[in-house]
Homo-oligomer: A and B are copies of this chain.
Amino acid sequence: MNSATHHEPPLNPDQAQMLAERCAEAMYARDPASQALGMRIVKIAPGFAALTMAVRADMLNGHATCHGGFIFSLADSAFAFACNSHNLVTVAAGCTIEFLAPAREGDVLTATGHERALAGRSGVYDIDVTNQHGATIAFFRGKSARIKGHVIETGHAE
């Protein structure tokens, strides 16, 4: 029997990596928002995600720079992929973002994030957003809350 309330058996590093990749693949497939924004998964590992997104004309705000919402969205998706990589459904409780430099049309942004802490059902993740020149665009910190359920069926239930 596979139940969210039972502790999963510990995984070895290869299994944890495979599980993280399968979770990301499944989440991305059913995530119209990340797809529509042109995000691509660059790297996934347990508690880690790196995503890229190109800044399009329809992402610009009234100052002709990338609307902060899309920079946030990229970081938030990386946060989501990182915090769901253990196959336990996890949502954002709150986030902070510091904007360091503007992003412009055509820039390719990369959000790289990892787990800083995981205690009970709460976690803290730091995601940095950089552009194609390596300049920091934003720092994002996400607080996660685990809810019920698994991201994917793992077959432990048979």
Is A18 positioned at the interface, with any CB of B under 8 Å from its CB?
no
* B interface footprint on A101-133 (CB within 8 Å = 1, 0 otherwise): 110000000000000110100101010000000
Once the chains are docked, how many angstroms separate the CA of A141 from the CA of B127? 13
Is A88 positioned at the interface, with any CB of B under 8 Å from its CB?
no
Q: How far is the CB of A99 from chain B (nearest CB, A)?
A: 5
Instruction: List chain B residues, Cβ under 8 A from A9.
Output: none
Interface positions of A from 123 to 156, Cβ below 8 Å from B:
124, 126, 136, 139, 141, 143, 145, 151
Q: How far is the CB of A80 from chain B (nearest CB, A)?
A: 7
Given A33-B70, A72-B76, A80-B62, A136 contacting B117 (CB threshold 8 A): yes
